């Protein structure tokens, strides 16, 4: 055996001593399932996958990795869209699959404590009988885990009214990159001292591994109205978005789907969507039953004032579910087209929507690419999807250049690189578009407090070089579709 093989052997043996043989995967076939997340271009085999069942086991694995000098990468369900769960430098993937228990439910004080591997929707299922729910609802919520949501500060269609993950997490159990266990936050809304919960939420697993999460539970709305407004032009739809917000209405969700995606969804699901419309909005208002019809009416009038040719309202829970199916499974529908796809995640001031959507179309035309938009319009969180054939290097080059132009456009109008998918490995170098050297230095220093020997999820979030993204060769902004991507 050479040194690498010896290390590998030791690693396997020691992991099995900690977790039993059923808690360790080293077979190459098994490891293939862990070579990337939903950002597939960054493919890297780990040396082993560890499947701990509690915080102490996570701590023991991390201490072992430190002793052997082996990097480790946390992983939830692998639905992430920026490569955060990929073992860039090999080593151990610490998967939270078996950290799947709900530990505590406090209905009167509206808190739930779950292990990090509990699937998002299971949180709501556990408390729905008490008319409560866990509000953040990424489209992948049937698969993604609360620990992964914490790592990426996940959003979803209802973040417009209810906020993203960080607004719903009050406490964390964190295993630091040296194996020490700390309790951050707690049950209260705010905890004294520095807000380390807020710091770790969205840190993309670079500050240690979260093993337990205390979340806020939110009352289910008494009533809901879900509307589908159909427009001849994108500008009519974006103006409706602006006008709804300006009128002081705060919809639970305000989502836009353009003609490209509508057609793909129709072909996939036959939902009866108007395939000739340029854009539709899914608008949901919720709250007390009293007054809600008036609020829905107000939304309807704003849509008609802006030229909506039709506004449908879901009359049953089934009709509502179908409207949401188009939105939440749009990416599955695109997968049927057999093309590869890049999904961008730029955020812009809401008032810039008409301008930016026009310019995104112009960029796609310039590079001769198909583009489809399905996104959180109310939040100004774009998801332009550029379609291409990844077997054609010339198309790959075009799609990358178009992607860079789109991200720069978002930053130029006062926006940002990502709304909910994270930086991961995908957009690290693009951070220099948004942050000064001093800003990034400060982030690096904070990262180093947690991650002194850089073994914890290495090669993520912060740019490795400080050179300008424009002149250097950045990471590939390419993602293939069909892995249940969550947007």
Residues 143-202 that bind a copy of itself (CB under 8 A): 153, 155, 164, 166-167, 176, 180-184, 186-196, 198-199, 201-202
State how far the Cα of 487 lies from the Cα of 475, in Å rounded to an integer. 21
Binding-site size for a copy of itself (CB under 8 A) equals 76
Largest Cα–Cα separation, the chain = 75
Q: Which stretch binds a copy of itself (CB under 8 A): 261-269, 311-319, 395-403, 442-450?
A: 442-450
- Region binding a copy of itself by CB under 8 A among candidate stretches 2-10, 16-24, 388-396, 415-423: 415-423
342 near a copy of itself (CB under 8 A): no
Residue from 37, 47, 137, 295 in contact with a copy of itself (CB under 8 A): 295
CB of 416 to a copy of itself, least distance (A): 5
- Rounded Cα distance, 210 and 237, in Å: 40
Q: Is 66 in the site for a copy of itself (CB under 8 A)?
A: no
C-alpha dist (Å) from residue 5 to 2, 11, 12, 84, 206? 5, 10, 11, 27, 27
Cβ at position 259, least distance to a copy of itself in Å: 26
Task: Report, in Å, the least distance between residue 1 CB and a copy of itself.
Answer: 38
37 binds a copy of itself (CB under 8 A): no
Give whichever of 258 and 420 is closer to a copy of itself, judged by the CB atom.
420
Given the rule CB under 8 A, which of 22-30, 90-98, 387-395, 422-430 is the region that contacts a copy of itself? 422-430
Q: Does 52 sit near a copy of itself (CB under 8 A)?
A: no
Q: Looking at beta carbons only, is 164 or 303 nearer to a copy of itself?
A: 164
Host H or E run for residue 350: none
Contacts to a copy of itself from residues 371-390, by CB under 8 A:
379-380
CB–CB of 343/81 below 8 Å?
yes
Strands 92-95 and 48-50: parallel
| Cβ burial, residue 473 (10 Å; 0-12/13-18/19+) | exposed
Piece of the chain touching a copy of itself by CB under 8 A; list 94-102, 105-113, 317-325, 334-342: 105-113
**Binder among 17, 246, 321, 468 for a copy of itself (CB under 8 A):** 246
CB of 250 to a copy of itself, least distance (A): 8
481 — alpha (psi -120 to 50), left (phi > 0) or beta?
Answer: beta
Nearer to a copy of itself, 26 or 206 (CB): 206
Least Cα distance to 279 among 319, 240, 331 occurs for: 240
- Cβ-based nearer residue to a copy of itself, 340 or 343: 343
Is position 300 an interface residue for a copy of itself (rule: CB under 8 A)? no
- Bridge partners for 283 per DSSP: 227, 254
Given candidates 377, 423, 455, 477, which one binds a copy of itself under the rule CB under 8 A? 423
Query: How do strand 72-75 and strand 92-95 relate by DSSP bridges?
Result: parallel
Within positions 14 to 33, which residues make up the interface with a copy of itself, using CB under 8 A? none
Residue 56: both structure tokens together: 């102490």
Nearest residue (CB) to a copy of itself, 158 versus 398: 158
Is 242 one of the binding residues for a copy of itself (CB under 8 A)? yes
CB atoms within 10 A of CB 315: 9
Q: Write the burial class of residue 485 (CB in 10 Å: 0-12 exposed, 13-18 middle, 19+ buried).
A: buried
Residue 294 CB coordination number (10 Å): 9
């Amino acid at each position: 055996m050479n040194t690498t093989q010896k290390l590998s052997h030791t690693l396997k043996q020691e992991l099995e001593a900690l977790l039993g043989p059923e808690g360790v995967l080293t077979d190459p076939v098994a490891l293939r399932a862990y070579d990337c997340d939903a950002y597939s271009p960054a493919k890297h085999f780990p040396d082993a996958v560890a499947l701990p069942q509690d915080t102490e086991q996570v701590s023991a694995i991390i201490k072992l990795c430190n002793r052997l000098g082996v990097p480790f990468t946390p992983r939830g369900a692998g639905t992430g869209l920026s490569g955060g769960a990929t073992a860039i430098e090999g080593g151990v993937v610490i998967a939270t699959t078996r950290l799947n228990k709900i530990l505590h439910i406090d209905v009167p004080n509206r808190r739930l404590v779950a292990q990090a591997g509990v699937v998002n929707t299971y949180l709501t299922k556990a408390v729905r009988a008490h008319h409560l729910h866990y509000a953040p609802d990424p489209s992948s919520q049937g698969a993604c885990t609360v620990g992964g949501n914490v790592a990426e500060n996940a959003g979803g269609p209802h973040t417009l009214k209810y906020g993203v993950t960080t607004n719903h997490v009050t406490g964390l159990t964190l295993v630091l990159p040296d194996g020490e266990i700390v309790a951050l936050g707690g049950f209260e809304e705010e905890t004294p001292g520095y807000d380390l919960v807020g710091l770790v939420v969205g840190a993309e697993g670079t500050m240690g591994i979260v093993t337990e999460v205390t979340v806020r539970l939110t009352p289910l709305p008494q009533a809901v109205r879900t509307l589908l407004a159909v427009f001849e032009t994108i500008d009519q739809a974006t103006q409706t978005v602006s006008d709804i917000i300006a009128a002081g209405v705060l919809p639970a969700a305000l989502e836009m789907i353009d003609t490209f995606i509508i057609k793909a969804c129709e072909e996939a699901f036959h939902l009866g969507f108007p395939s000739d419309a340029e854009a539709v909005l899914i608008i949901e208002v919720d709250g007390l039953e009293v007054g809600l019809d008036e609020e829905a009416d107000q939304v309807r009038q704003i849509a008609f004032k802006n030229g909506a040719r039709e506004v449908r309202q879901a009359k049953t829970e089934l009709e509502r579910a179908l409207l949401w199916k188009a939105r939440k499974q749009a990416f599955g529908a695109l997968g049927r087209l057999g093309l590869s796809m890049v999904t961008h995640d730029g955020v812009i001031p809401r008032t810039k929507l008409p301008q930016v959507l026009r310019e995104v179309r112009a960029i796609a035309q310039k590079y001769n690419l198909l583009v489809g938009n399905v996104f959180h319009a109310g939040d100004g969180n774009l998801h332009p999807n550029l379609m291409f054939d990844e077997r054609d290097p010339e198309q790959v080059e075009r799609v990358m250049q178009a992607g860079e132009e789109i991200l720069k456009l978002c930053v130029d109008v006062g926006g940002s690189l990502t709304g909910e998918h994270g930086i991961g490995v995908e957009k690290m170098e693009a951070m220099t578009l948004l942050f000064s050297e001093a800003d990034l230095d400060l982030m690096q220093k904070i990262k180093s407090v947690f991650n002194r020997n850089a073994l914890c999820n290495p090669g993520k979030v912060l740019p490795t070089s400080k050179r300008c993204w424009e002149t250097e060769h950045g990471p590939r902004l390419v993602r293939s579709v069909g892995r249940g991507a969550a947007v």
